[in-house]
């Protein structure tokens, strides 16, 4: 299944690739080898675009104490940090990097109420740059569980990711594993957990959005 965010991009890709192939045949109808090569390259390019916007069905086993990964990718950061935007105190940060070949649907890590949301315009540093979490274009979302525990996560644009999409707003009830947004063409998501959370992943571990348990919180 393809994600709705890919409709315009896929249509544009089809028009451009069809146009290039038609133009090549019109300008040089005798160069059969070139037409075949261009057609092959066009098919490969279309497959890459289609796979980027794939949206596989995910069944998230809901668990009150689990924080699930908000995206597919690789864990690149696990560290204690000073969170200055909302909590203004120490938190455990877990960052997941998404390559262009990962599924780019973003999901709610816990069930609860969206207590805080803010969109920040910014730069487009490479996603693994230490300052990308605070200087790049990003969104910040805080979800509060029924017991009052809050988890923050950020969608962060990177050097290739120039479009962040979100579907949540303050006061909204959200379900663990439900879609909250989409980032186009590779980036990362940071999760900020309470001190004392039991981290269930390690650096360099490959995780699946809506499936992998990032941490346990009481």
CATH number of the domain encompassing residue 201: 2.70.70.10
Edge-to-edge order in the sheet of strand 187-193: 173-174, 112-120, 138-144, 150-157, 187-193, 89-98, 73-83, 206-207
Residues 77 and 30 occupy one common structural domain: no
Instruction: Find out whether 146 and 115 touch, Cβ atoms under 8 Å.
Output: no
Helix (H/G/I), strand (E/B), else coil: 161: coil
Residues 20 and 122 occupy one common structural domain: no
Count structural domains, the chain.
Answer: 2
Residues 72 and 153 occupy one common structural domain: yes
Instruction: Find out whether 76 and 203 touch, Cβ atoms under 8 Å.
Output: yes
> Is residue 176, in this structure, part of any structural domain at all?
yes
Q: What is the pLDDT of residue 158?
A: 67
> Using DSSP, how many helices (H) and how many strands (E) does the chain show?
3, 14
Residues 36 and 142 occupy one common structural domain: no
Distance of CA 76 to the CA centre of its chain: 14
> Is residue 82, in this structure, part of any structural domain at all?
yes
pTM of the model: 0.82
Length of the chain: 218
Q: What is the pLDDT of residue 131?
A: 60
Residues 105 and 155 occupy one common structural domain: yes
- Positive or negative torsion for Cα 80, 82, 88, 94: negative
Distance of CA 78 to the CA centre of its chain: 18
> Is residue 61, in this structure, part of any structural domain at all?
no
Helix (H/G/I), strand (E/B), else coil: 24: helix
Q: Which secondary-structure segment (H or E) carries 156?
A: strand 150-157
> Is residue 38, in this structure, part of any structural domain at all?
yes
> Is residue 57, in this structure, part of any structural domain at all?
no
Question: Given 69, 132, 133, 187, which residue is catalytic?
Answer: 187
Q: What is the pLDDT of residue 34?
A: 78
> Is residue 59, in this structure, part of any structural domain at all?
no
Residues 108 and 19 occupy one common structural domain: no
Residues 78 and 20 occupy one common structural domain: no
Residues 32 and 95 occupy one common structural domain: no
Residues 165 and 95 occupy one common structural domain: yes
Residues 212 and 116 occupy one common structural domain: yes
- Cα Rg of the chain, angstroms: 20
Pull the structure tokens for residue 218: 């009481």
> Is residue 60, in this structure, part of any structural domain at all?
no
Which residues span the domain enclosing 41? 4-52
Residues 47 and 77 occupy one common structural domain: no
Active site residue 132: no
pLDDT tens sequence for the chain (218 residues): 776 776 777 788 888 888 888 888 888 788 887 788 888 888 888 887 777 777 777 888 778 899 999 999 999 999 999 999 999 999 999 999 988 788 888 999 999 999 999 998 866 565 555 565 666 788 999 999 999 999 999 998 865 555 788 999 999 999 999 999 988 766 889 999 999 999 999 999 999 999 999 999 97
Residues 145 and 85 occupy one common structural domain: yes
Euclidean distance between CA atoms 29 and 35, whole angstroms:
8
């Amino acid at each position: 299944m393809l994600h709705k965010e890919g409709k315009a991009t896929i249509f544009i890709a089809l028009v451009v690739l069809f146009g290039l192939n038609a133009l090549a045949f019109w300008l040089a109808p005798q160069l059969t080898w070139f037409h075949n090569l261009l057609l092959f390259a066009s098919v490969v390019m279309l497959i890459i675009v289609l796979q980027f916007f794939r949206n596989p069905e995910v069944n998230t086993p809901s668990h009150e104490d689990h924080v699930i990964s908000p995206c597919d990718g690789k864990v690149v950061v696990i560290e204690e940090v000073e969170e200055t935007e909302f909590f203004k105190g120490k938190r455990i940060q877990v960052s997941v990097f998404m390559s262009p070949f990962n599924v780019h649907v973003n999901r709610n890590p816990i069930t609860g109420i969206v207590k805080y949301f803010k969109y920040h315009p910014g730069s487009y540093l490479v996603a693994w740059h230490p300052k990308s979490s605070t200087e790049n274009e990003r969104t910040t979302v805080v979800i509060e569980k029924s017991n009052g525990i809050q988890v923050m996560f950020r969608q962060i644009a990177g050097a290739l990711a120039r479009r962040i999409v979100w579907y949540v707003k303050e006061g909204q009830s959200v379900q663990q594993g439900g879609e909250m947004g989409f980032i186009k063409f590779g980036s990362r998501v940071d999760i900020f957990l309470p001190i004392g959370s039991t981290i269930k992943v390690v650096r360099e571990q490959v995780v699946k959005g809506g499936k992998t348990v990032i941490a346990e919180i009481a």
